[in-house]
Structure 1
Amino acid sequence: MSAPQAIVVGCSAGGLTALEVLFAGLDPALPQAIAVCCHTGSSTVDLLCELLAEHASLPVTEAREREPLQGGVIHVAPSGYHLLVEADHRFSLSVDARVSFARPSIDVLFDTAAEAYRDALIGIVLTGANRDGAEGLSQIRRHGGLAIVQDPAEAESTAMPRAALDLAGADHCLPLAAIAPLINRLCLP
């Protein structure tokens, strides 16, 4: 794996609490861009961004069409759109069909980020109640990126991390509280 340039995170049921814990533990000097896909069921992610910003050590913003992934910023996938990462490391949005019953889909974000960042990408699958993210994490590993999965035994909803482990495996399967310290060790000089 090359030095990480970007981090993608996916979660569903129980995701808000998991993201708050993860983002609170990240070093504020983290230089990597972070993109997050969280199934919320709401029509906007304004409240999600607000709640995450209260805990995060980095700025939190909604990802926008053609916006570049910015280092040291947490970009949240907007409701109702798939969030894609283009080869030029800019976001694009799509209203294509749902994937794994979801739009935004974690698999779509992970697949496109894996193509764009290849072996300089870290993928993280957290708590969730479906299989979204498993195929995408598999793509990240195929491209030489690093896969981190929350230990299903302590996830609020075990289906998503179990599916990721079953299909993609993981370089690290950790309790939630151990993921941010690992990211800080991997990403800071």
Structure 2
Amino acid sequence: MGSVLLSCMQKSNLEEVKVSPAKDNFFAFEAIDNDGKLRKMSEFKNKKCILVVNVACKCGLTSDHYKQLVEIYKQYKSRGFEILAFPTNDFMEQEPWDNNKIKEYVQTNFNVDFQLFDKIQVNGENCHEIYKFLRFNSELHDSKTGKTRQIPWNFAKFLINPQGKVVKFVSPKYNPEVMIPDIEAMLDA
């Protein structure tokens, strides 16, 4: 299974799509939450650090990543930290469920209480505008070629600062705990 995952991740990392930023700030975007309500990202402007992550319930990374995300959220939410989780079925159909089933599963199995959003696409022609922005404004974008690499797999992570700028991208290959020093630095700033 590990070699299949790695091979899929490597393949998708090599695919490139051209995207352009629709807006220059994360807080200018909107998304539908898990309960079907339109949410403005500007609602999170008061946060010192936002982690945006694409998630899936049937991925080999699900258990470790959700457990660590929940622990990190518990530890830092009172200091101005927020997690925004966007389910996606883009990778080997590992998020086949509807919003209700996703919410039930992650709350029952991992006690998730951070923000869950509607299932979206993070790559391709129907990529959500938030993910176009994240990809274009991270190391996934090559300004020399004008191309932007695709999200490689479930649980790709981005850190957003209080100005609405992407400050870090972390590959799904790495567990969320590797972001703790960056999160702490942002919260202490």
TM-score by length of 2: 0.41
Structure having greater relative contact order (Cα 8 Å, sep ≥ 6)? 2
Q: Which of these two proteins has the greater Rg computed from alpha carbons?
A: 2
TM-score by length of 1: 0.41
